[in-house]
Amino acid sequence: MEGYEKAEKVLETLQRLPAMSAPVLKVIQLAGDPDASAEELADSIRSEPTLTADVLRVANSAYYGVPGQVTTVRMGVILLGMATIRSLAMMAAAHTWLDQPELHGRRGREMWDHLLTTALYASELARKYAPAFQEEAFCCGLLHDLGKIALMTALGKQYDNTLTAAAQRRMPDVAAERMAFGFDHEAIGLALARKWKLPEMLCDVIGFHHDPRHAEHKRDFVEFVHAADYLYWKQALGENFAPERWPVEEEVAFKFELNDPTWLQYLNEAVEKTKKEFLSALMAA
């Protein structure tokens, strides 16, 4: 991350930023608090209609084995568990951010696919290397590019042009952003995450996923997302993948065995399959 002080100052001057609804933020915070009760969590979910609908829809989907049986948010919270509720709240947040007129179209769709797929790669990696933290890894993947969403919202076309130039010059997005603005999406994302008082692990992931060595508290989660981000681009761009644009730290590649083609193929297939299941659970009536 570079240009944090500048990003923090710029953040104060921006008129348009992704909005975080107070109930959604409260759910994210409560669902990460081991002392919070199911009742407290259900109360804050109920004050956000979209989230209430999501919780009931997912809890009643075939995926959880009791279709049509869950009638209250409290039952949903107990069935799904705190971590899944937190994922749903984060997905609701990400969806709201991306569902604005200036993000309709290619960039918005691309970003949604990127966030969800990166979350699934992070979760698959955690399944093997830190099974107890699978849901956390998923959550971190979902919000890691908060800074990009902030720049898309605030700068629109100007930021779009920056990303296009980065692709044409085959340079990392963060480098193109620094050239254009004097800071990158990690810096502005971290400034925003701190302003919203998001949990420490999320702040770290948002601020350091392109360079996990600088993570301040939760380096493990940052590494999952760093690797997942790389895997997303490698798979999404196929033959056009340029390692100089999406570099992966050697140490991280070694740790997660990212040079093993059999493992990579397994990961790609697992993510594709889970993505289908996940989306159908979310859409289920």
Other CB atoms within 10 A of residue 164 CB: 12
Which of 48, 54, 136, 145 binds Fe ion (CB under 5 A)? It is 145
Residue type, 159: Y
Q: What distance in Å separates the CA atoms of residue 269 and residue 252, rounded to the nearest whole number?
A: 21
Place of tokens 């769709």: 109
Contacts of 152 (CB under 8 A, 6+ apart): 102, 103, 107, 108, 111, 159, 160
Count of residues near Fe ion by CB under 5 A: 2
Question: What minimum distance in Å lies between the beta carbon of 148 and Fe ion?
Answer: 6
Q: Given the rule CB under 5 A, which of 32-40, 93-101, 137-145, 214-222 is the region that contacts Fe ion?
A: 137-145
Site for Fe ion in 115-134 (CB under 5 A): none
Residue placing its CB nearer to Fe ion in the complex, 92 or 174 = 174
Phi/psi of residue 16, each to 5°?
Answer: -115, 125
Question: What minimum distance in Å lies between the beta carbon of 96 and Fe ion?
Answer: 19
Q: Given the rule CB under 5 A, which of 66-74, 97-105, 145-153, 212-220 is the region that contacts Fe ion?
A: 145-153
Residue placing its CB nearer to Fe ion in the complex, 45 or 206 = 206
By the rule CB under 5 A, 229 interacts with Fe ion: yes
DSSP conformational letter for 245: T
Residue placing its CB nearer to Fe ion in the complex, 48 or 223 = 223
Q: What distance in Å separates the CA atoms of residue 156 and residue 138, rounded to the nearest whole number?
A: 28
Tokens of 18: 């992704």
Question: What minimum distance in Å lies between the beta carbon of 176 and Fe ion?
Answer: 12
Residue placing its CB nearer to Fe ion in the complex, 48 or 184 = 184
Considering only the C-alpha atoms of the chain, give the largest distance between any 2 of them, rounded to a whole number of Å: 54
Tokens of 63: 């995926």
Q: Given the rule CB under 5 A, which of 43-51, 212-220, 223-231, 242-250 is the region that contacts Fe ion?
A: 223-231
Count Cβ neighbours within 10 Å for each residue of 26-50 and write b for 16 or more, e otherwise.
bbbbbbbeeebebeebbbbbeebee
Residue placing its CB nearer to Fe ion in the complex, 26 or 185 = 185
Question: What minimum distance in Å lies between the beta carbon of 152 and Fe ion?
Answer: 12
Of 141, 150, 242, nearest to 194 (Cα)? 150
Residue placing its CB nearer to Fe ion in the complex, 85 or 143 = 143
Residue placing its CB nearer to Fe ion in the complex, 70 or 146 = 146
Tokens of 187: 């810096």
Of 29, 34, 78, nearest to 56 (Cα)? 78
Q: Given the rule CB under 5 A, which of 41-49, 50-58, 138-146, 191-199 is the region that contacts Fe ion?
A: 138-146
Question: What minimum distance in Å lies between the beta carbon of 94 and Fe ion?
Answer: 12
Q: Given the rule CB under 5 A, which of 4-12, 27-35, 197-205, 224-232 is the region that contacts Fe ion?
A: 224-232
**Interface contacts to Fe ion, rule CB under 5 A:** 145, 229
